[in-house]
Amino acid sequence: MENILHLWENTGLYQMQPGQGIMIAIGMLLLYLAINKNFEPLLLVPIGFGGVLANIPGAGLAEHGGILHIFYSVGIESGAFPLIIFMGVGAMTDFGPLLANPRTLFLGAAAQFGIFATLMGAVVLSTFGIFDFSLADAAAIGIIGGADGPTSIYVASKLAPDLLGAIAVASYSYMALVPLIQPPIMRLLTTEAERKIKMVQQRHVSQREKIIFPLLLLLLVAFLLPDAAPLLGMFCFGNLMKECAVVDRLSNTTQNSLINTVTIFLGLAVGSKLSADKFLDLTTLGILLLGMIAFSIGTASGVVMAKIMNKISTKPINPLIGSAGVSAVPMAARVSNKLGLEADPHNFLLMHAMGPNVAGLIGSAVAAGIMINYVTGG
Amino acid sequence: MDKSSLMSDGFTLMLFGMSFVFIFLTVLVFATGLMSKLISRYERNVGVIPEEGVPSPTAVIPHHEHPHSSSASPADDATVISVISAAVTKFRSRHK
């Protein structure tokens, strides 16, 4: 009888706490969204599954010594996984559209306003005692507005490891929701005539320029903002491997097998942060809300900046490409293209929008560097 | 950390951060522009025929006395046409 009782006490059913049950359901919901609705499946499948694993009562997969905890401490706590992902993203990025029209970098800069506005929002909320965020927490939450998963995870692991689960889930879900969140804001801020603006065909960019650009960027980072060097350094390294065309084997590995391998472990490790005691409170709700605001402000400020540039510049600039300044590559550029086609079926903005899109990636990495510099040094 | 200093810290970080992002990317815009200009100047000669003329291919014996003259004579054209049509005929006969 005692043995049976012992066995019963070891079952999941006996040990299950309501929080864990809810978190398993949330994990399943993420899996459903990924599999059935095709929302960022590459990330939400590992994250969702990791979330379910982490909440199995009594198994302790996410506790000290558990396998998910090991993934977490090896890859995320050390900052390695987001950096390896950034290297892969670098190897997949084509700087051609950006080099053809370097001024689109300003759009990438403007869209980072979402990050800082949200940081301010989080600080104001905790000043009024609604939430209790420190400056580091607020910075990590703001970076969601960059709509750049690896950067968010990197910053969160440095500044606010406790909030990592919520921040990662928020930033990846908003990346998936780009096609839903952005268009209404873009339509609101532009007129029909502005959306019809056609842009000049881009010039040809030579191979030499493409090889030198990552080195130039690296030097600038080295001189001006060493705190962004881990992120942008890996990014430039990946890009140089692609463009120099003498290490195709390395570049292929980085773009494919390596980034895929790391994505699996990154997803599981992020999932391990979805444990009930950390995730199920009002703070998470606040983070999701603030992240959404960050993202919307980023989109809006990108569009407004593009409108200003269109007024000043001699060459026409369609304001729709401004929204691509939030980094979510390449979804944001596709959204710009789609809205351009809606206004005029012959208006192809995709390549023009890739410029600000890549600029946004650089911009949010720079913003991340500044936040880390200010918070840890100041 | 008391609340008012948190607020002012946040505000400083916002101003400082946003202006730094802009400064950094502005510098990058100019650096990129300069780089592109330098490279396109360097590459301007690529694909342009040098002034002293292109050396004639060794397999074809030039029919005229001044192989380096830039103006093409009718005889020159005739050679080119005959060479090209021979090549085309050979290509067609092989790929039928």
Question: Could you read off the pLDDT of A228-274 as tens digits, one per residue?
Answer: 999 999 999 999 999 999 999 999 999 999 999 999 999 999 899 88
Q: How far apart are CA A289 and CA A118, in angstroms?
A: 10
Mean pLDDT of A158-176: 87
What distance lies between CA A310 and its chain's CA centroid?
A: 28
Residues of A in contact with B9 (CB under 8 A): 123, 135, 378
Predicted pLDDT at A378: 60
Q: What is the pLDDT of residues A132-149, one digit of tens each?
A: 899 999 999 999 988 888
Residues A121, A293: contact at Cβ < 8 Å?
Answer: yes
Ramachandran angles phi, psi of A39, nearest 5°: -90, 105
Q: What does the alpha-carbon distance between residue A246 and residue A306 come to, in Å, rounded to a whole number?
A: 37
Query: b or e along A25-38 (b: 16 or more beta carbons within 10 Å of the residue's beta carbon)?
Result: ebbeebbebbeeee
* CB-defined contacts A:B, below 8 A: 113
Stretch A24-29: mean pLDDT, rounded?
93
Distance between CA atoms of A145 and A175, rounded to whole angstroms?
A: 10
Domain spans, chain B: 1-54
Residues 6 or more apart whose CB falls under 8 angstroms from that of A345 comprise: none
Alpha helices by DSSP H, A160-275: 164-176, 178-189, 192-195, 207-224, 229-244, 248-253, 259-271
Q: Are A368 and A228 in contact (CB under 8 A)?
A: yes
Cβ within 8 Å of B, A 84-113:
98-99, 102-103, 105-106, 108-109, 112-113
With CB atoms and an 8 Å threshold, state whether A135 touches B17. Answer: no
Helices vs. strands in chain A: H and E counts, helices first: 22, 0
Mean pLDDT across B57-81: 63
* A341 class by beta-carbon count within 10 Å (0-12 exposed, 13-18 middle, 19+ buried): middle
Mutation target among A118, A374, A375 for the B interface, most CBs of B within 10 A: A374
In the structure, what pLDDT confidence band is assigned to residue A153 with cuts at 50, 70 and 90?
A: very high
Q: Which residues contact A162 (CB under 8 A, 6 or more apart)?
A: A278
Cβ-Cβ contacts under 8 Å, B19 against chain A: none
Q: Is the pTM of this model over 0.90?
A: no
Q: With contacts defined as CB-CB under 8 Å, which chain B residues touch A122?
A: 10
Give the minimum alpha-carbon distance from A294 to chain B in angstroms, rounded to a whole number: 13
Q: In this structure, what token pair is assigned to residue A146?
A: 């960059």
pLDDT value of position A238: 96
- Could you give the CA distance from residue A308 to residue A213 in angstroms, rounded to a whole number? 27
Closest partner CB to A108 (pick from B10, B16, B25): B25
Residue A2 has pLDDT above 90, yes or no: no
Give A79-132 pLDDT, tens digit per residue. 999 999 999 999 999 999 999 999 999 999 999 999 999 999 999 999 998 888
pLDDT digits (tens, 9 = 90+) for A310-344: 999 888 999 999 999 988 788 899 999 999 999 99
Query: For residue B16, what are the contacts with CB-CB under 8 A and spacing of at least 6?
Result: A370, A374
Cβ–Cβ < 8 Å for A291, A141: yes
Q: What is the pLDDT of residue B82?
A: 84
pLDDT band for B47, please (50, 70, 90 cuts). low
Q: Is residue B51's pLDDT more than 80?
A: no
Q: Per residue, what are the HEC states of A254-293? A: HHHHHHHHHHHHHHHHHHCCCCHHHHCCHHHHHHHHHHHH
Which chain B residues are closer than 8 Å to A371 by Cβ? 13, 17
